[in-house]
Amino acid sequence: MPRSLRPVTDAAPRAIIYLRQSAYRDESISLELQEIACRDYCDRMGYEVTAVEADPGITGRTWNRPAVQRVMAAIDARGADVIVLWKWSRLSRSRKDWALAIDRADVAGGKIESATEPIDTATASGRFARGVMTEYAAFQSEQIGEQWEEVRQRRLRLGLPASGRLPFGWQWDQGAIKPHAEHAPIVVEMYRRYLSGDGAASIAAWLNASGIPAPRGGTWRRTRPLTVMDSPIHAGLIPYRGDTYPGKHDAIIDESTWAAYQGERKRRADATDKPRAYQHLLSSMIFCECGARMHGKGSYTGGKLYRGYLCSDTLNGHEQRAYVSALTVEPLVVDWLLQFDPEVEGPAGDGPVLRSRHDAILRELNALEVEVVNLTRQHTRGIIPESAYVRSLAEITAEIERRQTEERRMRPSPSASPEQIATLQAAWTAMSMAAQNKGLRQVVSRIDVLPGGRKFIIKTTWGASSEVHA
């Protein structure tokens, strides 16, 4: 796509410096050193630095980084003319993300430059060199991943956690893990209270009342105790990718306690779909205006049941509106569900043929990316001349872009099909509230409470949204 042209002005080009400190220790250059190099570069080029954005300690494999999203949004909005990086690899180590970032910058009339690896991307040879640098960054990322996997496997063989992060109650001591003198007994008491019938919110309230800080400081949220107790490290085991392995450390709870906790945890989770004294239609879907999840709350007053939704942040002192009556929000959501046309407003159906084709496209994309890696390796070794490399790379890149467009179009929807939604509408009045909640969660991803507690945004699982109000 051709670059959008801008009128020439006397103002200095506006630059945003983007910094990323790698999660990989051997290449973790400090943000300060990166910023110094970038500012020196901007001074030499005559750029005006308008902002400095940083993603500390985040891998370049993911594009889900707050600062890089802000930087690209600034370029899209033409709030900046150039993104300045310390090295090309700081922006991303993903071929796909790099291609999309370059395209977005070109469309907006902006550009991306490296302070320590200057390349004139206005020329064909310069763009080729940038492609080699970004391809090498992707190659390094894959190599780093393989090295880290070897490290993790070795740690598992030694009975050590695969990563350095430990749950509350544990600490590192000369390369081994051992129970924390003060926190380990607290974890044992958490298990005792849970198996005695206390819920996570009750345990969190006890921890806060006892003045025990949460693992990362502050107060305990209502679900955080479960996160702590879910770790098999307390039982002398090491978790890794859904499995557990024998640990070298001594357990702080015995096997029977661990088994009893897992059984009780599953029983309570399964009980959420079973009839209760009072039920809540919008459980797991409704969120307070502060952003926290709201939980169903019921009470009997004068022999009458009152139901509503209470903000989960109440444990930490909620200063804004924290409660919404079920009689206010539930009828609005039900009316919305029963009145919209799933054939017109609902998600596109997937079907087995479409899903099969989507899976095939993903496999084809993976094979094409492997071709790019092999092609670049052959070129760097002198096996393929530059002209042949450039021509072949352009052909493969064009094919990748075509397959990516097709993959996005055929991506299966996680939501219910129009037929399933129509069935839900027809059977709605005859269903139990637990069944209604389960069916509604296939249609609604979340319901946001707006300030005042009388207006709500309903967001569907396929990305559409609607505003309803009392």
444/315: higher pLDDT: 444
Q: What ranges do the domains of the chain cover?
A: 14-142, 170-273, 286-344+418-469, 351-410
Per-residue pLDDT of 346-381, as tens digits, reads 665 554 555 566 667 777 776 777 777 677 777 777
Does pLDDT of 259 surpass 70?
A: yes
3-state helix, strand, coil in the chain (%, to 5): 50, 15, 35
Does pLDDT of 425 surpass 80?
A: yes
pTM metric for this prediction: 0.39
* pLDDT band of 268, cuts 50, 70, 90: confident
Give the chain's count of helices (H) and strands (E). 14, 15
Q: φ and ψ at 218, to 5 degrees?
A: 80, -160
Helix (H, G, I), strand (E, B) or coil at 324: strand
The H or E element containing residue 32 is helix 31-45
For 170-273, CATH number? Answer: 3.90.1750.20
Does pLDDT of 273 surpass 60?
A: no
Which residue from 97, 95, 21, 112 is spatially nearest to 59, judged by alpha carbons?
A: 21
Please say whether the dihedral angle defined by the alpha carbons of residues 76, 81, 84 and 88, taken in this order, is positive or negative: positive
- Residue 315 buriedness (CB in 10 A; 0-12 / 13-18 / 19+): middle
Helix (H, G, I), strand (E, B) or coil at 467: strand
Please say whether the dihedral angle defined by the alpha carbons of residues 172, 176, 180 and 184, taken in this order, is positive or negative: positive
Distances (CA, A) of 14 to 20, 47, 114, 369, 427: 20, 6, 15, 35, 59
Distances (CA, A) of 234 to 169, 178, 187, 392: 8, 10, 8, 54
Helix (H, G, I), strand (E, B) or coil at 2: coil
Per-residue pLDDT of 175-208, as tens digits, reads 789 999 999 999 999 999 999 988 888 899 899 9
* pLDDT band of 278, cuts 50, 70, 90: very low
Question: What does the buried/exposed string (b/e) look like for 87-118 if buried means 16 or more CB atoms within 10 Å of the residue's CB?
Answer: bbbbbbbbbebbbbbbeebbebebbbbbbeee
CA distance 83 to 15: 6
Please say whether the dihedral angle defined by the alpha carbons of residues 180, 182, 185 and 188, taken in this order, is positive or negative: negative
Which residue from 268, 331, 274, 282 is spatially nearest to 437, judged by alpha carbons?
A: 282
* pLDDT band of 408, cuts 50, 70, 90: low
Say whether domain 14-142 belongs to CATH 3.40.50.1390. yes
Per-residue pLDDT of 153-170, as tens digits, reads 777 788 888 777 789 999
Partners of 53 in the beta sheet?
18
* pLDDT band of 233, cuts 50, 70, 90: very high
Distances (CA, A) of 154 to 21, 141, 408, 455: 26, 20, 38, 54
DSSP letter string, 45-86: HT-EEEEEEEETT--TT-S--HHHHHHHHHHHTTS-SEEEES
